[in-house]
Amino acid sequence: MNKNPVGVFDSGIGGLTVVKEIRKILPNENIVYLGDTARLPYGTKSVDAIIKFSLENTQFLISRGAKFIVIACYSSTSVALDIVQKNISVPVIGVIKPGVKRALEITKTGRVGVIGTSLTIYSGAYEKIFREIDDQCQVLGKACPLFVPLVEEGWLDHGATELIARSYLEPLKDDNIDTLLLGCTHFPLLMDVFKEIMDDINYVDASREVGLKLARELKRLGLEHPGKGGNLSIYLTDLSMNFKEIGERFLGEKMKNFSRVSIGGK
Amino acid sequence: MNKNPVGVFDSGIGGLTVVKEIRKILPNENIVYLGDTARLPYGTKSVDAIIKFSLENTQFLISRGAKFIVIACYSSTSVALDIVQKNISVPVIGVIKPGVKRALEITKTGRVGVIGTSLTIYSGAYEKIFREIDDQCQVLGKACPLFVPLVEEGWLDHGATELIARSYLEPLKDDNIDTLLLGCTHFPLLMDVFKEIMDDINYVDASREVGLKLARELKRLGLEHPGKGGNLSIYLTDLSMNFKEIGERFLGEKMKNFSRVSIGGK
């Protein structure tokens, strides 16, 4: 048992979909979230920069008492997970592997689709993890760069969103995938649109799988919070104009407790 | 008369729409283009960082012999134009004022719409310049964050693009603007879509106005190239996966002569 908070970081506020799932699965845990909005996007930065930012973010969460670190950022998980794990004494999980494992558990045909931003898909990070676990599976990656701005606009049921989703998903449908992994923190908000286009396949929401993995790990390590009613504190390195409106869309609840904080001189 | 090249820089490759217009208007000028793709987007960076990057980019273009500098980046023009002008001996123009002047020349009702990225519109940079020139005009700004990713996807005549454009432009139509200024380097590629939605107003393409302003200034200062058939050299600080395909869409011709270059240690 441990009353300290779980620390979660992302380059922006998309990681709040991971927090949403953690709060559903583990309502008694305290959570400290750090969104490094001043330095986003990470995907276009050098590997060295992403490692430096990831270590700084982790250090901030540990200074806030974090007993466990969740990296809710795809770029950080891709290039910095191992290094963060080696550098700190608390346990760390990333956002990629839990979804991959779940997809491989439920696929029957071994044909799995993955959708994400261009950076996530073209980096090959997903394909590498899939192959490490099962070298027989067929992974069909599809970059969907318009979904993030559509979600940030809040156009979840706009006619354009359905047309765009059809353009992106039809090729995966034609390839007869039986499982689709949503490899981006923003995408769970479009689940209803995806299901209208392909309703006879399995969906894996990476944000939810991270929450489930965290629950298993906290239990295994005896780190669960003993009390009731966990708090959520949100720190952002920059407060953009509409972060609150967008953040609450991801979080599925009001953002009550947020502050601006400086990390790494930004 | 001066055979040296005109230097143009942007945070990315969108500024190639400005180069396209310059090459149409001034086909004999040599052009050196720098796209600071390793450090984009500038809009989310601090003012100090944007000033530093803008000075470094200018210095690079001058080291390549530039006789005139065109800042084809909205964020740089907003915060660094004056400082760049003070720091170097060659003439410098930005990408904001030429479009504003043209819009004010052709509006009859004084009701002008401006569309751009969220950063351009919410920074108020356009409104400030409009007011400096004419404090009676009514400027209606509309942030259109989905246009940049739509253009980068190449979905210029996708059904979704028209639906999205309608959502963005209908409020401006209802506000009875008689002139619309395209305040983003990516937007001229969507001109046909805009005209389908509003065909009875004036359009001002900021990229074209910058080209016309450059032509007037070169003539005034006696800096025109005396010969025929100008060359174009393109330098980028990072070569992303599909920069060539997207760049050629902006440029309207093949990108023959491009290289990667390091600026400011990146």
Crossing angle of helices B159-174 and A159-174, rounded to 10°? 170
Q: Which residues of A touch B155 (CB under 8 A)?
A: 167
Active-site option among A32, A172, A184, A204: A184
User: Which whole number is the average pLDDT over A132-140?
Assistant: 94
Q: Which helix (H) or strand (E) holds B118?
A: helix B118-123
Distance, in Å, from the CA atom of A247 to the CA atom of B149, rounded to the nearest integer, reads: 21
Confidence at residue B43, expressed as pLDDT on a 0 to 100 scale: 75
Provide long-range contacts, Cβ within 8 A and 24+ apart, for B214-219: B214/B6, B214/B22, B214/B25, B214/B26, B214/B68, B214/B70, B214/B93, B215/B25, B215/B26, B217/B68, B217/B91, B217/B93, B218/B6, B218/B26, B218/B29, B218/B68
Crossing angle of helices B97-106 and B206-221, rounded to 10°? 100
**Arithmetic mean of pLDDT over chain A:** 93
| Boundaries of every domain in chain B | 6-94+208-260, 97-207
Q: Is residue A241 very low, low, confident or very high in pLDDT (cuts 50, 70, 90)?
A: low
DSSP letter at B188 equals G
Are A163 and B159 inside 8 Å of each other by CB? Answer: yes
Confidence at residue A42, expressed as pLDDT on a 0 to 100 scale: 83
Active-site option among B73, B81, B93, B246: B73
User: Which whole number is the average pLDDT over A164-181?
Assistant: 96
C-alpha distances out from residue B38 to A175, A235, B10, B43, B263, Å: 35, 27, 11, 14, 9
Strands B179-182 and B202-205: parallel
Kindly state the percentage of chain B with pLDDT values over 90: 80
Provide long-range contacts, Cβ within 8 A and 24+ apart, for B189-195: B189/B17, B189/B151, B189/B156, B189/B249, B189/B250, B190/B147, B190/B150, B190/B151, B190/B156, B190/B161, B190/B165, B192/B156, B192/B157, B193/B156, B193/B157, B193/B161, B193/B162, B193/B165, B194/B165, B194/B169
User: Which whole number is the average pLDDT over B59-86?
Assistant: 95
Cβ of B46 under 8 Å from any chain A Cβ?
Answer: yes
Q: Which helix (H) or strand (E) holds B209?
A: helix B206-221
User: CA B164, B170, B176: angle at the middle one, nearest 5?
Assistant: 150
User: Which whole number is the average pLDDT over A47-53?
Assistant: 89
Domain A6-94+208-260 falls under CATH 3.40.50.1860 = yes
DSSP string, A182-250: E-STTGGGGHHHHHHH--SSEEEEHHHHHHHHHHHHHHHTT----SSS--EEEEES---TTHHHHHHHH
CB atoms within 10 A of CB B121: 20
User: Which whole number is the average pLDDT over A212-221?
Assistant: 98
Active-site option among B40, B66, B129, B184: B184
Tell me if A21 sits within 8 A of A208, measured CB to CB.
yes
In this structure, which CATH number among 3.40.50.720, 3.40.50.12500, 3.40.50.1860, 1.10.599.10 belongs to the domain A97-207? 3.40.50.1860
Residue B137 appears among annotated catalytic residues: no
Q: Is the pLDDT of residue B241 over 70?
A: no
- pLDDT, one tens digit per residue, over A72-82 is 999 899 889 99
Confidence at residue B265, expressed as pLDDT on a 0 to 100 scale: 60
Q: Is the pLDDT of residue A168 over 80?
A: yes
Confidence at residue A265, expressed as pLDDT on a 0 to 100 scale: 60
A132 CB-near residues (< 8 Å, 6+ apart):
none
- pLDDT, one tens digit per residue, over A15-35 is 999 999 999 999 999 999 999
Q: What's the pTM?
A: 0.87
Confidence at residue A43, expressed as pLDDT on a 0 to 100 scale: 75
Are B158 and A163 inside 8 Å of each other by CB? Answer: yes
Judge if B6-94+208-260 and B97-207 fold alike in CATH terms.
yes
Q: Which of residues 68-107 of B touch A (CB under 8 A)?
A: none
Cβ of B176 under 8 Å from any chain A Cβ?
Answer: no
Complex ipTM: 0.81
Shortest distance, CA A66 to any CA of chain B (angstroms): 29
Burial of A199: CB neighbours in 10 Å, binned 0-12, 13-18, 19+: exposed
Are A44 and B40 inside 8 Å of each other by CB? Answer: yes
Q: Which residues of B touch A40 (CB under 8 A)?
A: 44
Residue A137 appears among annotated catalytic residues: no
Residue of chain A whose alpha carbon sits nearest to that of B12: A44
Q: Which amino acid is at B147?
A: F
Question: Helices marked H in chain A — which ranges?
Answer: 16-25, 47-63, 74-87, 97-106, 118-123, 125-133, 147-153, 159-174, 191-197, 206-220, 243-251
User: Which whole number is the average pLDDT over B69-84?
Assistant: 94
- pLDDT, one tens digit per residue, over B103-159 is 999 999 999 999 998 888 888 889 999 999 999 999 999 999 999 999 989 999 999
Closest CA to A102 of A19, A209, A220: A209
Are A167 and B145 inside 8 Å of each other by CB? Answer: no
Confidence at residue A39, expressed as pLDDT on a 0 to 100 scale: 83
Instruction: Please count the CA atoms within 13 angstroms of the CA of B130 that sit on its side-chain side.
Output: 21
Distance, in Å, from the CA atom of B171 to the CA atom of B166, rounded to the nearest integer, reads: 9
